[in-house]
Amino acid sequence: MIKYENVGVSFSDFEVLKNISFHVKKGDFLHIVGPNGSGKTTLVKTLVSLLKPTHGIIHINTKNMGYLPQKLNLKNQIPMTVQEVIYSGFNKQKLIPSQDDCQLIKKWLLKMEIPELFNQSMNFLSGGQQQRVYLIRALISNPEVLILDEPTSALDPSFREKFYKLLYEIQQEHQTTIIHVTHDLTDAVKDDCKIMYVDQTIRFLGSYDAYHEFEHRGHHHV
Amino acid sequence: MFELLQYDFIINALFIGITLALSAALLSPYLVLNQQAMIADGLAHVSFAGLVLSVLLTNEPLYIAIPFVMIASLLIKYLAATDKMNGDAAIGLVASVSFAIGLILIKKSSGFNISVESMLVGNIFTATRADIILSVIVSILILIFVFLFYRPLFLMTYDLNYAKFSKVKTNILGYGLSILTAFFIVIGVRTIGTLLISALVVFPSIISSQWTKSFKMTLIFGVISSFVIVIMGIFIAHPLEIPVGSTIVVLYTILLILLLVTKKLLRR
């Protein structure tokens, strides 16, 4: 589904990522971890075509992708409702959303435990509520590949657990490939997921059990 | 008030005023809410030079001015898209260079018979048939553009990166928006004036975003408030013999103050 062959990204003389090679199969759940400034978000930007790699080849076998950026580009002075923002994540958009489209949005708001926000202005929402709205925007078109860059940073711990449960349900139900960048693997991992540790290059890629071993060795060996 | 409607120049002024109000209000949220409000002001300065050049070379104000301002708008967009300077700097650079060239041309040309003041302030009551036709054309083009690309333009306005990720042709739409803004500004400068045409673009979104919570309603209320203010401006300015552009700006300011005060009182 996704294949990276020797991908590197440089800004001027500074090499942010080098020799990145991996592949992700349909239905995989990959967690990307690494220290601050390790290139995780740069890697995500190459995945969602916001950044062209300086060298190497990226193959992505689908056009139906969902994406939650790390920094939400919120401009507080823009009047827009929750419904308008979520509708902008639909693959096919009309001038006026249909009844079915509105129902689907309401269904997702209910899943995310914010059903009352349908017609609410985005500017009046808390950071956590806004993040849930942008999550729905990423999920609403049933993407084949879902890319989440620190999706739970503004969510409260009680909802975080439910959120990961929901993600695993989506993965099981639709065979969605999920790539998840995080600082905190608590609540996020299940036995069959993969972990990638990035620090300029891939230092580790494997199962969660193997990652434990890697951690104990102090991140020094691949 | 109604007896004024028997005069052709009032009807013409209303016609051109309403079409300009529609164009400005439709462009407004995509420029103002995307921190590009100053592009209208910059292009107005560019169109000053365009109109001067046009009159000198062809004796017809719009022939050269329209392509001149369109090219300038594309240049601003291009300069802002490169990493060399930000959008504000690009607007300031192109606008001041154009305005300076316009003033030099006026000073050094013997054949220029239009007063600088009339170009700065404009006169909606002397609008020609060509002005009206072009104003209708530009408003129809902007209306079609906004109807066709309402959703992608909205996404570009609030989240450019997500628009790029969603494969929205952000460059093409951005250039389209710039060209239509340039077209609108050239027509507007002749009637509302170089100094105040940008107010027509800036105010609708600021006014409507004070009391609407959705983007769609911001657009709709912007168009309505724009119609009301421009028509009132024409009817008030003519008997008082004051410039229409200035009257419109003062009316918009009064409305904005009233809205802000009402909002503050309602929150108590």
pLDDT for A104 equals: 95
Chain-chain contact of A73 with B161 (C-beta, under 8 angstroms): yes
Binary contact (A80, B158; C-beta < 8 A): yes
C-beta separation of B40 from B198 below 8 A:
yes
Q: Report chain B residues whose CB lies below 8 A from the CB of A69.
A: 161-162
Strand partners, B140: none
| Local structure of residue B125 (DSSP, 8 states) | G
Q: Give per-residue pLDDT as tens, B3-47.
A: 777 888 889 999 999 999 999 999 999 999 887 888 888 998 898
Q: B88: distance to nearest CA of chain A, Å? A: 18
Percentage of chain B modeled with pLDDT above 90: 46
Selecting from A69, A85, A93 the residue whose C-beta is nearest the C-beta of B161 gives: A69
Average pLDDT for B168-177: 93
Q: What is the pLDDT of residue B165?
A: 92
Interface of A with B in 85-114 (CB under 8 A): 85, 87-88, 93, 95
Look up residue A63 and give its DSSP letter.
S
Nearest residue in chain B measured CA to CA from A141? B166
Which tokens is B252 given?
Answer: 């918009």
List, for residues A130-175, the tens digit of each pLDDT value: 888 998 999 999 999 999 988 877 778 888 888 888 888 888 888 9
Pairwise pLDDT comparison (B159 vs B86), residue with the higher score: B159
Homologous superfamily of the B2-267 domain (CATH)? ABC transporter involved in vitamin B12 uptake, BtuC (1.10.3470.10)
Is B54:B65 a contact under the CB 8 Å cutoff? Answer: yes
- CB A178 within 8 Å of CB A30: yes
B92's tokens = 């300031």
Identify the pLDDT of residue B229.
Answer: 96
Distances (CA, A) of A115 to A82, A119, A133, B109, B135: 11, 10, 11, 68, 45
Query: Any chain B CB within 8 A of the CB of A58?
Result: no
Rounded alpha-carbon distances, angstroms, from residue B219 to A78, B6, B162: 12, 33, 22
Is the CB of B165 less than 8 angstroms away from the CB of A84? no
Calpha distance A48→A40 (Å, rounded): 13
Average the pLDDT over B245-263 and give the result: 93
The one-letter amino acid at B217: M
Closest chain A C-alpha to B215 CA, distance in angstroms = 5
Q: Which residue of A has its CA nearest to B155?
A: A88
Residue B237, pLDDT above cutoff 70: yes
Mean per-residue pLDDT over chain B, rounded = 89
Give the pLDDT score at B211.
Answer: 84
Confidence of residue B112 (pLDDT cuts 50, 70, 90): low
Distance from CA of B33 to the nearest CA of A (A): 6
Sign of the four-CA dihedral B101, B103, B105, B108: negative
How far apart are the C-alpha atoms of B23 and B137, rounded to whole Å? 10
Domain boundaries of chain B, sorted by first residue: 2-267
Least confident window among A47-61, B48-62, B103-117: B103-117
**CA A113 to CA A135: how far, in whole Å?**
12
Q: Cα(B65)–Cα(B46) distance, rounded to whole angstroms?
A: 9
Interface residue A80 vs chain B (CB under 8 A): yes
User: If we measure between CA atoms, which residue out of A2, A30, A34 comes closest to residue A192?
Assistant: A30
Write out chain B residues lying below 8 Å of A50, CB-based.
161, 164-165
Q: Which residues of chain A have pLDDT under 50?
A: 220-222
> Following CA atoms A164, A165, A171, A176 in sequence, which dihedral angle do they give, to the nearest 10 degrees?
-30
CA B93 to chain centre: 19
Nearest by CB to B158, from A63, A78, A121: name it. A78
Residues 181-210, chain A, touching B (beta carbon < 8 A): none
User: Is residue B247 within 8 Å of residue B237, measured between CB atoms?
Assistant: yes
Distance of residue A182 Cα from the nearest chain B Cα, in angstroms? 20
A84 → closest Cβ in B160, B164, B214: B214
Q: Cβ contacts (< 8 Å) between A49 and chain B: which residues?
A: 164-165
Q: Reduced to 3 states, what is the DSSP secondary structure of residue A114?
A: coil
Q: How many other C-beta atoms lie within 10 A of the C-beta of residue B173? A: 19
- Residues 6 or more apart in contact with residue A18 via CB below 8 angstroms: A8, A200, A201
For the cut 60, the answer to whether the pLDDT of residue B194 exceeds it is yes
What are the residues facing A201 on neighbouring strands?
A199
Q: Does the beta-carbon distance from A75 to B33 stay under 8 Å?
A: yes
pLDDT surpasses 90 at B120: no
Query: A131 vs chain B: nearest CA distance in angstroms?
Result: 14
A56 has which bridge partners? none
User: How many cross-chain Cβ pairs, A to B, lie less than 8 Å apart?
Assistant: 69
* Interchain contact B2–A (C-beta under 8 A): no
- Looking only at the bridges linking them, the beta strands covering A29-33 and A194-199 are parallel
ipTM (interface predicted TM): 0.87
Chain A positions in Cβ-Cβ contact with residue B164 (cut-off 8 Å) = 49-50
Residue A205 CA to residue A208 CA, distance in Å, equals 9
Cα–Cα distances in angstroms (integers) from residue B220 to residues A77, A98, B133, B211, in the given order:
17, 20, 24, 12
Quick one: pLDDT at residue B130? 86
